[in-house]
Amino acid sequence: MESEPDTTDGPARHEEAQHGPGYSWSGLAARPRVLARRFGPVVQWRSRPALLAGRAGRTCRLASVRGTSQQLHGGNRMIRTILLRTRESFWFLPAVFGISAIALALGLVLLDRTLTDNGVTSAFFLDALSASGSRAILSIIGASMLTVAGTTFSITISVLATTSSTYGPRLVRNFMADRANQFVLSVFTSTFLYALVVLQSVHTRVEDNQSFVPITAVYFAVLLAVLNVAVLVFFIHHIADSVQITTLQRGVKKDLTATINLLYPDDHDGVAQPAGVLSSAESQVITSVAGGYVQGIDLQKLVRLGSHHRCFITVTAAPGTHVLAGEEIVEIITSKADDTSQKQLERNVRAAFTLGSARTPRQDIRFALQQLLEIAVRGLASGSNDPYTAVSALDLAGESLTSLFRRAVPPSHLVDGDGVTRVKCVWPTAEELTGEIFAGIRIYGLEHPIVIHAALRLADRLCTAASTGSRRSRVVSETTRLIAAFEASAPDPDTMERVRAASAAVLALAPAAETGT
């Protein structure tokens, strides 16, 4: 890359001498075309800005990363990935409960042995038990809990299969991540383990010339059995509720809203800010060493790497992108470095990316929206023929997208503590998401006028909430295309007239959208 001619003097040369060759600060405001040509529009958060006065009157804005950066970039990516994956597994919580149950059983048995050695054979509120009676109670509790656990697991698998075939295989993740299902399975299996450990501690005189009955532990097992009955009733209610389409849609909509709040925070004010850039550098790419979907990116780590190696990093494989081994994930603009430093940079950049076999909605807003649209599309299939499912899906999508349309465009450039642009990562725009929604409706929903009316209701809400003229213009454009496609499907005149009347409010905003008001 050719270096830009240095047109700065005074403080700029002072900063170049202080930070090394290739950096120019003070003269950057006078060279907006250079900045725009290299980096595109630079946007920076202004929430709680901190202005620091530097030498020679230089003033730069520190990156205030309240909101998105604290939630999106903070923490160790590897630990977060492990926690997210274990949360969506059926083994982690039962394992924790099982270990706790074994420890509790051993602790109560030890307590009973201590009481027996001190001559306490019964408590004032617990009747004494024989060894045979205790074994019978514990055997019944253990066997019944294992049976109920197996039945519970069978019901859960059946619900997963039904959900996968009816509403889409990607919703299975929601069921596996359901804490209620994990909790119920954990309670039953841990109660079985508790009864088993206590059972092996019961002895008679025939066995070792000294009988031992852990009264406290046995009665606690009885208490656990009573609680397990309540958990079983709760599980039946929960499964019956979770298979309802409204519950499924609400869960998916919750994920979509969480993703919007994460990627598009409403507490920032995006404005263009000058930033330091490299004036003498070369471009290179870093590729992935494995294949899979990009599930998450630790952008704060990339900012630190950019600051440490004095480079600018452009993310080319955003969350949700499928990459193969050897495909590009970032492009780096940096000055020449030694081989050791270059290899360290490549290794650390790759470590900031989390790859997996499936997409997740945390940083992938397209996937979060796709899950909700998939429910709508499957409701329109010939086998289901349930347009009301699609209507409710569009209404719920409107709840999340209207909040997105009210917010400012998220910053695509991140700066370090010195105000230097270090990372560029572009997120999907509200206009792009709008196009994906209406594209699905044009393909699958033209045969259902009630779905068209729901789409027009969504368009009206988005236009009302739109904070920019470009967003409003995109909604008007998509509405026009939807009306044209519906008219081409040859509906009856009365239906067409009602659809035109419903779209009048949105199409009336076309002049305002064109002028950007």
Tell me what the mean pLDDT of segment 362-382 comes to: 89
Here the tokens at position 373 are 């649209």
Does the pLDDT value for residue 142 go beyond 90? yes
Closest alpha carbon to 387 in 448, 343, 298, 305: 448
Give CA angle at 462 (482, 166), nearest 5°: 65
**pLDDT grade for 334, boundaries at 50, 70 and 90:** confident
Tell me what the mean pLDDT of segment 148-158 comes to: 84
Whether 69 and 426 have beta carbons less than 8 Å apart is answered as no
- pLDDT of 458: 95
* Separation in Å, CA 251 to CA 171, 173, 404, 454: 10, 11, 18, 20
DSSP alpha helix (H) spans, 128-178 = 131-167, 172-176
- pLDDT of 322: 96
CA torsion, ordered 93, 95, 99, 105, to nearest 10 deg: 80
Residue 90: partners with Cβ closer than 8 Å, 6 or more residues away = 176, 181, 182, 185
Does the pLDDT value for residue 434 go beyond 90? yes
* Separation in Å, CA 294 to CA 7, 16, 240, 364, 507: 41, 37, 35, 9, 39
The full set of domain ranges for the chain reads 83-243, 368-406+428-508
User: Can you tell me the distance from the alpha carbon of 422 to that of 333, in angstroms, rounded to the nearest whole number?
Assistant: 10
* Letter string b/e over residues 256-276, b meaning 16 or more CB atoms within 10 A of that residue's CB: bbebbbbbbbeebebeebbbb
User: Can you tell me the distance from the alpha carbon of 425 to that of 422, in angstroms, rounded to the nearest whole number?
Assistant: 10
pLDDT digit string, tens, across residues 245-273: 888 899 899 999 999 998 998 765 444 34
Residues of the chain with pLDDT > 90: what percent?
44
| Assigned CATH for 368-406+428-508 | 1.25.40
Tell me what the mean pLDDT of segment 434-442 comes to: 94
- pLDDT of 281: 60
pLDDT digit string, tens, across residues 213-247: 888 899 999 999 999 999 999 999 998 888 888 88
Whether 69 and 300 have beta carbons less than 8 Å apart is answered as yes
* Separation in Å, CA 102 to CA 47, 99, 112, 144, 283: 50, 5, 15, 18, 58
**pLDDT grade for 37, boundaries at 50, 70 and 90:** very low
**Whole-model pTM over 0.85:** no
Residue 282 bridge partners (DSSP): 334
User: Can you tell me the distance from the alpha carbon of 350 to that of 286, in angstroms, rounded to the nearest whole number?
Assistant: 8
Whether 140 and 248 have beta carbons less than 8 Å apart is answered as no
Dihedral sign for Cα 506, 507, 512, 517, please.
Answer: positive
CA torsion, ordered 42, 359, 87, 303, to nearest 10 deg: -20
Does the pLDDT value for residue 107 go beyond 60? yes
- pLDDT of 53: 31
DSSP-assigned letter for residue 357: S
End-to-end distance of the chain based on CA atoms, in angstroms? 41
**pLDDT grade for 337, boundaries at 50, 70 and 90:** low
Between 77 and 129, the higher pLDDT residue: 129
Burial environment of residue 34 by CB neighbours within 10 A (0 to 12, 13 to 18, 19 or more): middle
Other beta carbons within 10 angstroms of residue 505's beta carbon come to 15
**pLDDT grade for 71, boundaries at 50, 70 and 90:** very low
Question: Which residue type is seen at 33?
Answer: R
What phi and psi, each to the nearest 5 degrees, are found at residue 59?
Answer: -130, 130
User: Can you tell me the distance from the alpha carbon of 74 to that of 88, in angstroms, rounded to the nearest whole number?
Assistant: 21
Between 414 and 47, the higher pLDDT residue: 414
Tell me what the mean pLDDT of segment 486-499 comes to: 91
Question: Which residue type is seen at 196?
Answer: L
pLDDT digit string, tens, across residues 374-425: 888 888 887 778 899 999 999 999 999 999 999 988 888 898 888 888 999 9
